[in-house]
Amino acid sequence: MPEPMLISCSRCGFETSSRRIWGNFNYLMPNNTSLSIFRTSGWCRSCANIEPVEQFPDRQKTKAEIAALEKARLPSDAPKSPKWFRWFLFSKRRAAKLRREQAYLNREILEKQMILRFLDLRTDSPCCLSCGSEDISIVDIPSVQAGEVVEIPFAHPDCGGMFTVRRAGVRLTMSFPLRTYTLNGKSVP
Ligand SMILES: [Zn+2]
Ligand SMILES: [Zn+2]
């Protein structure tokens, strides 16, 4: 059960919760499959609150990850001698393990290829997943210790007070409805 963080302004009475960014967010891909949305917390000027905002994965990093996964997909101890190969064929347990590993790697590769496809198709800048506004600034919310109050380098817009983060002190059990978005980050009703 996760524990949300409370974000408060040191000057006015504004207070919000990191719970706002929790959820199950997915893009609807062209082939009717879905892709998990990479997101973080940010200040949305339009919502005037901390909201879930998009943060796109890096294309070069994703390509490098695919290359590494493809390399891992080839068994490093591929059969070299006919004797080894016979043993390999008759080792059912090993074959099953290898199949599971390959299936896992294939799924990971497919997911990362979908990310590249998403990056190719996306035209708009990252936006707020609550209202669609692009007027956003990323605000990292640290995970703080119980009893700790940590100031973060972000001033409350139009107020100037600094934001501090502390634990809410309660753990919440929540289930999240699936929220679906277009490739340009707009909510699909
Ligand atoms: Zn304030
Ligand atoms: Zn917003």
pLDDT for 67 beyond 70: yes
Task: Please tell me the distance between residue 137's alpha carbon and the centre of ligand 1 in angstroms.
Answer: 16
Q: Are residue 15 and residue 39 in the same domain, yes or no?
A: yes
Judge if 99 and 133 occupy the same domain: no
Tokens of 66: 């695919």
**At which of 121, 147, 165 does a domain end?**
121
Instruction: Specify whether 47 is located in the same domain as 69.
Output: no
Ligand 2 centre to CA of 59 (Å) is 26
Indicate the pLDDT class of residue 117, thresholds 50, 70 and 90.
Answer: very high
Q: What is the pLDDT of residue 31?
A: 85
**Residue 175: which of 24, 17, 21 has the closest Cα?**
24
Of 89, 121, 153, which residue is a domain's last? 121
Q: What is the pLDDT of residue 85?
A: 66
Both 26 and 68 in one domain: the answer is no
User: Is the domain of 169 the same as that of 182?
Assistant: yes
d(CA 108, ligand 2 centre) in Å: 31
Which ligand neighbours the alpha carbon of 130 most closely?
2
Give me the percent of the chain exceeding a pLDDT of 70. Answer: 91
Ligand 1 centroid, distance to 48 Cα (angstroms): 11
| Nearest-ligand number for the alpha carbon of 54 | 2
Rounded distance from Cα 129 to ligand 2 centre (Å): 7
Residues 8 and 99 in one domain: no
Choose one of 121, 144, 175: the last residue of a domain. Answer: 121
Quote the pTM value: 0.84
The confidence band for 154, taking pLDDT boundaries of 50, 70 and 90, is very high
- Which domain does 180 fall in, by range? 1-56+126-189
